[in-house]
Amino acid sequence: MASSAELEDPLLNLRRAIATNTTPLLTTTAEPTSANDAQQDIALATHIQFNHDDMHRSFPLTTPTRFVSAGIPLDLRSIYFAWLNKDATVPEYISTTQRLNEELPGGAGGSVQNLVFVQKLDLIAWLQGHSDESEYIKPLDSESATAQATSAADVASGATGGVATLPSTSTAVGGKAGRQVDPRLIEIYEGERKMGDRNSVLRGVKPTDFSHVRKTAATFLTSRHPNRPGAAPPTSSTLPAPSAALVSNLKKPSRRLEPIILLSPSASSLLRMSNIKSFLDSGVYIPANSAEASTTSVNLLHISRTLPSIDASRPLRFILVDTPDQFKPDYWSRVVAVFTTGQTWQFKGYKWTQPTELFSHVLGVYVGWQGEEPPPVVKGWGRGVISVKVDKWNSVQGSAGRWRDREVVEQVWGSIEESMRARGWGKDGPGGAR
């Protein structure tokens, strides 16, 4: 059952609403009683009400959240607006944010802050439940953690236990009455940092659950007759084997890195953001500008694919983008493939701007028409680039009869898997355990 702190946290309420597919209600009052209190325009709304789990919780849209950007907690309006625009491109998101700030009335409570690409991506993944942690979201402090922190602070300050400090008022020294402490010395003592004892040093502010240690100890210390007085300590032959659940519980959880595939932003590319998902996920090629292609303008996609030689138990989640403008430096270690048309201007903003150097670190993929040869420049880039061909599009037949596309797609995925394995990609990312 959720704690009171979790029930009162607006971020967790929004995440729960998304998980239960329950749309929050924007209102103009903290306690809406009629349909007139509802407000569709986020610029005019003052509160947001969550109605999941048979409960009704309302928060002002100006409520600061645990999501911190540039050291400043974002308000609930900015968070909810980012979620509403999760599929918008970066320019669209920035322009709609500016327009919303212009529409906000003077009493709405500040301006909506737009998130940078990486922060927005991290927030959306957390809200959708794809990740359980975020480097921008502060952990939720429980009541027990607050109590322990208060106790530790009391010890460290000398209020309870620890090392006694010199009183700040004039007093007798050495048991000799009438001898007063120099006021300047008192001022110096009060400016010193007050130290605690070993109890305050060893006590942290974050509660730690050590129940798994008790279970592990019981496994090794309990003999076959634990209730018999004077029972001998268990030997290796009497120790029960740890269960699979216990071994799994002892493993330190880690966030799985997602490999990245870069597409060409060129208008002449056969594969773009509008049709790449149909090709790599469904195994069917459709022109990027056709009526069958995606009409939603997005700058980021996800595709899940199982690569047996890397992890046969669960699929890998790939990120597809057509520009590295929002990359952090460590993102380049996660790039596993680059789709190219042979135009070198594509690599201008890359970590490796020279094609020969780029394709010594990353697999290159050139997709052309059946019956046409790839450009000579692509051939000159060597074995780091694979060339595949798809049948030309027939507007009469459409997507019907394109069974050869599946064979080409399997060839592409096979090359990506082989390249990732050769570069040390494991279950948890580059250099991870295999």
> Which residues does 221 contact at the CB level (< 8 Å), separation at least 6?
233, 234
The secondary element (H helix, E strand) that includes residue 201 is: helix 198-202
Please name the CATH architecture into which domain 260-430 falls: 3-Layer(aba) Sandwich (3.40)
SS (H, E, C) 131-167: CCCCCCECCCCCHHHHHHHHHHHHHHHCCCCCCCCCC
Q: What is the pLDDT of residue 362?
A: 93
DSSP 193: P
Please state at what angle helix 117-127 crosses helix 76-84, rounded to 10 degrees. Answer: 90
The sign of the dihedral angle between the CA atoms of 358, 362, 368, 373 is: positive
Q: What is the pLDDT of residue 337?
A: 94
> Which residues does 134 contact at the CB level (< 8 Å), separation at least 6?
67, 122, 123, 125, 126
The sign of the dihedral angle between the CA atoms of 192, 194, 197, 203 is: negative
Dmax over CA atoms of the chain, in Å, equals: 109
Q: What is the pLDDT of residue 359?
A: 93
Each of the 434 residues of the chain gets a pLDDT tens digit; together they read 566 777 788 889 888 889 888 888 888 888 887 777 888 888 888 888 888 777 888 899 889 999 998 888 889 889 999 899 988 888 888 888 888 888 887 644 457 888 888 888 889 998 988 888 888 888 876 544 444 445 545 544 455 544 444 444 444 444 444 556 677 777 777 777 666 555 555 555 555 666 677 777 776 676 444 554 444 554 544 445 555 554 554 444 456 788 999 999 888 899 988 889 889 988 889 888 887 777 667 788 999 999 999 888 889 999 999 989 888 888 999 999 999 999 999 998 899 999 999 999 999 999 999 888 899 999 888 889 999 999 888 877 777 778 888 999 999 999 999 999 988 888 877 865 44
The domain spans of the chain are 4-127, 260-430
Report DSSP letters for 359-401, one per residue.
HHHSEEEEEEETT-PPPHHHHTTGGGEEEEEEPPP-TTTTTTT
Q: What is the pLDDT of residue 250?
A: 47
